[in-house]
Amino acid sequence: MLAVLADFAGPLGPFESPEEQDARKQQWMDTVEMSAVEQLLAVVQRSRRPPELERLDENDVEFELTELLVGVGRRDDDATLARVAPLLDVAQARPVLIDVIGGLRSQAGLPLLERVMREPVLSEDETVRLVCALGEVGGEGARELLTVLQGRFTDPPAAVAQEIDIALQAIERS
């Protein structure tokens, strides 16, 4: 699994276009066993990056982990959300997991996002990701959670305020 992740997160080789890599990644996500979700989640919750991923940009690895978890996880949203739920308490995993829940775009993810909202301390990054995830999931439940979240701030950080506006507009359009 680490070799697959390193392959997708690493630089393109001289003989592959971005489109070809995307097609290869999509084929992998469509055909890999669902047990890949567990293996990817094991990487997400590690406190240190494995040696196979050390040479790669942390943001690239995080992006690919999210993409792969969403791509494979969409085949069974409920099972993926059930696997993600207990890991939300793992601080280093939470940002990626918030993105995954949003990326699944399943209303079944709203209770998990509400659980994240109840965390006593969320970083600005986690709050922005939470708002984005609520916007991706959409629906009346997400709108209500965004309103509750908005009410918690007397003077929200600019990035949070901007993302709340974007998320509410996205929900309005859907």
What pLDDT, in 10s, does the model give residues 5-49?
999 998 877 788 889 999 999 999 999 999 999 999 999 998 788
What pLDDT, in 10s, does the model give residues 91-146?
999 999 999 999 999 999 999 999 999 998 899 999 999 999 999 999 999 999 99
| C-beta pairs of 47-54 under 8 Å, 24+ apart in sequence | 47/92, 50/2, 52/2, 52/3, 52/5, 52/6, 53/2, 53/5, 53/6, 53/9
Q: Which of 140, 142, 160 is nearest to 150 (CA)?
A: 160
- Output Rg (C-alpha) for the chain, integer angstroms: 17
Q: Given its phi and psi angles, is residue 139 left (phi above 0), alpha (psi -120 to 50 degrees) or beta?
A: left
Q: What is the dihedral of CA 32, 37, 39, 41, to 10 degrees?
A: 150
> pTM (2 decimals)?
0.94
Domain ranges of the chain: 1-90, 105-174
CA atoms within 13 A on the CB side of 73: 29
CA distance 161 to 163: 6
